[in-house]
Structure 1
Amino acid sequence: MIDNPTDTRRKLRDLLEARAFRTGEITLSTGAKSNFYFDCKPVTLSADGAYLVGMAFLDALEKLPDRPGAVGGLTHGADPIVSSMVALSYARECPIGGFYVRKEPKRHGTKRRLENPPQPGTKVVIVDDVVTSGGSLLKAVEEARAADCEVVAAMALVDRGEQDGAANIRREVGTYVPLYTRSDFPRIGGGSGRARTPIASGQPAARESSTLTPSGA
């Protein structure tokens, strides 16, 4: 088990480099073309990756000025992140709730947009795996606010540093914390690749969700 935040971030960055980062022409979910992409599912849905992701997000969460009662995000990119955070928050004796935001309302049963919706007035943090334009994350922000939640911050596992994503998010939310940006991955170009402490002011943006595949998303 890893308890040191610096070690957590370093090991998680190495996992992202090895399992999530890919090169080659790709069509992003925004429609833009890129020569690199992040498919974070092999990290967020693995045993070691889920642990490191949950710990890294909780470490960053503790630095926020407002303590949230719940974390959530748009399915499917945010789902494993939310689940890891919720489970590990209990282990760390600082439990928080979790919720998923559907892309479309449920067509049967409750027909709701949020699964396990927080109580009205709950302070929440919206998370996503990868940001480019910020569209997926901001959709979750919109739905959380429609459910009368107070969105106090947004967080992303990886910010691609493109399409004004960080600026778009900060304009709507204020506090935006990307755990990693393109400068953390020297194969993209620029930066040393060393793990850095995430900052609330963010960096240039990234993609909507790491459901990218070589055939597009």
Structure 2
Amino acid sequence: MGHTSSQRSEFVRFALDQGVLRFGEFKVKSGRLSPYFFNAGLFNSGASVGKLAQFYAQALVDSGLDFDMLFGPAYKGIPLSTATACALVNHPGLHGRDVPFAFNRKEAKAHGEGGTLVGAPLEGKVVIIDDVITAGTSVGESVEIIRAAGAEPAAVLIALDRMERAGADDALSGHSAVQEVEQRYGIPVVSIATLGDIMAFLEDNATFAEHQRTVSAYRARYGV
């Protein structure tokens, strides 16, 4: 069963209300000027993170994927995996199933221990949870950690798929960061919403008409 479009547009509205999604002109990590900005770190109160976690839980249940536990890469993945595990317990689709979670500590890597795990032991089918995938490097690290523990990376769960090609303007990659991750690791990426959902939201909301053109132009140039 697919993730419902009402759920997706509701998330876009929620992200806007929280100031997590903003329109304007933003210099992003890649050096590009983006007509929108998405910063999940701004979900920073009990109510907003609780609601965010419900969206994650819903997207994961809607995906129909089989999973045993969550893994949150340091640092953003730590609160995300914790809150989503709490939300999953209350999700009617899981009938009270208690989903374990684990996360890693970055500090240990400096001492050559290869990252210290905190939380439940990594086993079974593990869902990696993060905010967005920009380069896919943190996904690679998570996949290594999970496989090293003898568990299986089952999916990556993110808040927003930017659906954007990587690379310099004159040498754009053929695929988006999300597609690269899916192809390289052979695991699906599940997102609460995508750039397509942001576009659909803009089309339905006249107040944002001015941004529709800039986002549309950006998607035409960098989108997949």
Q: TM-score, normalised by structure 2?
A: 0.69
Q: How does 1:101-180 map to 2 (within 5 A)?
A: 101-105=104-108, 112-119=115-122, 121-162=123-164, 163=166, 164-171=176-183, 172-180=185-193
The total of aligned residue pairs comes to 184
Shift of 1:99: 1.2
Asked if 1:26 is matched to 2:38, the reply is no
1:195 paired residue number: none
- TM-superposed CA distance for 1:133, in Å, is 2.5
Relative to 1, partners in 2 of residues 1:25 and 1:91: Cα closer, same or farther, differing over 3 Å?
A: closer
| Structure 1 residue runs without a partner (length 5+) | 191-203, 206-217
Residue pair 1:40, 1:129 contacting (<8 A) in 2 also: yes
Secondary structure of the equivalent of 1:177? strand
Q: Verify the 8 A CA contact 1:151 1:173 in the aligned structure 2.
A: no
**Contact 2:182–2:189 (Cα < 8 Å) also in 1:** yes
Secondary structure of the corresponding residue to residue 71 of structure 1? strand
Shift of 1:111: 7.7
SS at match of 1:133: coil
Identity of aligned residues (%): 21
Contact 1:78/1:127 (<8 A) preserved = yes
Supply the distance in 2 between the matched residues of 1:66 and 1:39 (Cα, whole angstroms): 27
Find the aligned partners of 1:132 and 1:112 in 2 and give their Cα distance.
22
Task: Tell me, in whole angstroms, the C-alpha distance in 1 between the residues paired with 2:193 and 2:61.
Answer: 17
1:105 and 1:58, CA in 2 relative to 1: closer, same or farther beyond 3 A?
A: same
Q: How does 1:78-97 map to 2 (within 5 A)?
A: 78-92=77-91, 93-97=96-100
Deviation at 1:129, TM superposition (A): 0.4
Which structure has more relative contact order (CA 8 Å, sep 6+)? It is 1
Task: Spell out structure 1 runs of 4+ moving beyond 6 A.
Answer: none
Structure holding more helix per residue: 2
User: What TM-score results when the alignment is normalised by the length of structure 1?
Assistant: 0.71
| Structure 2 contact 49–83 (Cα < 8 Å) conserved | yes
Contact 1:71 1:126 in 2 (8 A): yes
For residues 47 and 12 of structure 1, the distance between their equivalents in structure 2, rounded to whole angstroms, comes to 17
Q: Show the counterpart of 2:101.
A: 98
Give the secondary structure class of the aligned counterpart of 2:131.
strand
Q: Secondary structure at the match of 2:191?
A: strand
Give me the CA root mean square deviation. 2.9
